[in-house]
Amino acid sequence: MVRVSIAVAAALLTLLAGVRLWFLDGLLRPVTIDGPSMAPALCGLHYEVTCPSCAARFKCDAEHLPASGLAECFNCGLENISLGELSVRPPDRVLLDRWPLIFRGPMRHEVVACRSPDGSFTVKRVAALPSEHLRIDGGELYNGEQPLHKTLAQLRQVRILASVRTGQIPRANSLDEVTDYDAYNQGELRRPLNPVHRAWLECDVKARNPVVCRIWRDIYYLDPDGLSRPWQAPSPLTQDEYALLGDNQPVSVDSRHWTPAGVRKQEILGIVYRPFWERRP
C-alpha cells in the first residue's frame, strides 16, 4: 500500500512538472533577444568593449553601428575606439514563462513578450496598468498626476552605468552631473542630453584592492521623438490593456508610438527573464 502511494505521488509530481515545463519556452529551444530596445538589461547582437584609456567596460549595439565603425567611451570620453577587431557577441538568451499569467495579470516593471499592434513579436517592460493614464514628464513616469516610483530592487533591474572610478571617491557633486548618455547606442544620431535626477553611488571596498566606485542612473523616459518634452497617452488604458515601454528609450518602438497605445492582456504571451545560469551580477 505504501509503495503504491509513493508511486502515485511520484507520477503526479512528474505530471505536474511536465505541465509546468510545457508553459516554459527557452529550455530546449533557445529564445533570444532581437534588437536593442531592452538594452542594457537584455541585449541583442552586441560588442563588449574595454576602453584602452580608463579600462571601463561597456556594451554597444552591433546592429546599428556608426559609419566610422568607432566607439566612444562613456566614462572618460575617449573617441576612436575601433570595433573592427572585436567579435560580435550573441544575443542574450531568455526564458518565456506563460504560467504566471494564467492566474494574474502582468505587474508593473515586469518584462513581458507580446504581439505588438503590427503583429510582430516584441519584448518590453510594463509601464502602466489597466485604467491608468500614462504620462512622461521630466524623464519620469506618471499615472495622470501621480508619479510612478520604482523600488530599489526595480531600480537595480534597469540601472545604467554612468561612471566608474578606481582608486578614488567621486566628488560630492558628481551625481548632479549625470546625463542620459548611453554608450550602447553608438550609432544613434546625436541628440540633446538630459540631466538625470535619479542617480546613486556604489563603492566596492576590498582589502588590499583599490576602491572601485560606480555611479548608476535610472532610465530617463523620452517622448516618441526621443526628446525630453512632456508626453501623455491619448487616453487612459481600458480595463484589460497595459502600456509597455522599452528600457532603451532613444531607440525603442513601444506604447509611445503604437495605435492604440495599450496592449490587451490576451496579446501578452508571458513573463521574460534570464535563466539563472546566464544571470549577470
Q: What angle do CA 111, 192, 73 make, to 5 degrees?
A: 75
The three three-digit cell numbers of residue 71, written as one number: 566607439
Nearest Cα to Cα of residue 114 among 37, 182, 185, 59: 37
Name 226's Cβ contacts closer than 8 Å, sequence gap at least 6: 191, 249, 250, 251
Contact 274, 92 (CB under 8 A): yes
Among 125-134, 162-171, 271-280, top mean pLDDT goes to: 125-134
Report the length, in residues, of the chain: 281
CATH (residue range 28-34+91-152+223-278): 2.10.109.10
| Every domain of the chain and the residues it spans | 28-34+91-152+223-278, 46-90+160-217
pLDDT tens track for 80-109 = 999 998 999 999 999 999 999 999 999 999
Sheet holding 212-217, edge to edge: 160-166, 212-217, 199-204
Residue 52's pLDDT band (boundaries 50, 70, 90)? very high
The three three-digit cell numbers of residue 174, written as one number: 558628481
Question: Considering the entire predicted model, what is its pTM?
Answer: 0.88
Least confident of 22-26, 46-50, 97-101, 261-265: 22-26
